[in-house]
Amino acid sequence: MRKLDPARHDQKRQEILSAARRCFERSGLKGASIAHICKEAGISPGHLYHYFKSKDAIVATLSEAWLDNISRRFEQLPIEEGGVVASLVEEISQLVPSGPNARSQLVFEMLAESTRNAGMAKLVQAHSRRLRSILANVLRQGQQRGAIDPALDPETTATIMIAMIDGLKALPLRDPEADRRAVADMLQQTLAAMLKRDAAEKPVEISGRRR
């Protein structure tokens, strides 16, 4: 048997993933078939299945790669007081779509597909759990250093942050005419106010009343 070259094997996997990403962004999750991916990558289906057992496996690998990148970025965040909040707010600003955003649309296609595909549902749930864990870990570090309100539950707060991020991604679909930058700025202010240590000591005004 021919000995496997790990470097070449990994290089081919990356080429297939890049081809799949282009297909997904161009045709959507459902519209991009294995045949389309193979044509884009310049390989046969039999060759592709040597590297990935299914299209869902390709999606799962792309998802893990994105989370790995997010995890590395958060590991490099300044953890000193003030740095955590500012860095998290900046990360949110990076998610503002400047126009039609194929990657954001792909997220919602995955959510829709998960309602009828048990494998996709497990993938989406695993993705969410890991993202929540990454964010919650950063929040705990910030609390330990006195930068983030210690009264906040990290897991719950991370879940709220994910909901805010998903809402930001959905904005171009819900209202193409909306001022995305203005909405993003307001979300940044809201997030910063929610996370800061002194936020719990300040009264919150709701409909003209203080609570």
- Each residue's pLDDT, cut to its tens digit, for the chain (211 residues) gives 456 678 888 999 999 999 999 999 888 888 899 999 999 999 999 999 999 999 999 998 998 888 888 788 777 766 555 566 777 777 766 655 555 455 667 777 888 888 888 888 998 899 899 989 988 998 898 888 888 899 999 999 999 988 888 887 787 778 888 887 788 788 888 888 988 866 444 444 434 444 4
C-beta separation of 155 from 129 below 8 A: no
Which pLDDT belongs to residue 43? 94
Give the pLDDT confidence score for residue 158 in this predicted structure. 93
Distance (Å, whole) CA 188 – CA 93: 7
pTM: 0.76
Joined tokens for residue 193:
């106010």
Q: d(Cα 188, Cα 88) in Å, to the nearest integer?
A: 9
pLDDT of residue 71: 81
Instruction: Identify whether the C-beta of residue 77 lies closer than 8 Å to the C-beta of residue 83.
Output: yes
Give the per-residue pLDDT at 9: 87
Q: What is the pLDDT of residue 132?
A: 92
Taken as a whole, the chain contains a residue count of 211
CB 12, CB 44: distance < 8 Å:
no
pLDDT at site 129: 92
Contact call for residues 65 and 20 (beta carbons, < 8 A): no
Note the pLDDT of residue 101: 54
Distance CA(192)–CA(189), nearest Å, equals: 5
Concatenate the DSSP letters of all residues of 124-190 into one string: HHHHHHHHHHHHHHHHHHHHHTTSB-TTS-HHHHHHHHHHHHHHHHHHHHH-TTS-HHHHHHHHHHH
pLDDT at residue number 102: 57
- Cα–Cα dist 198/85, whole Å: 12
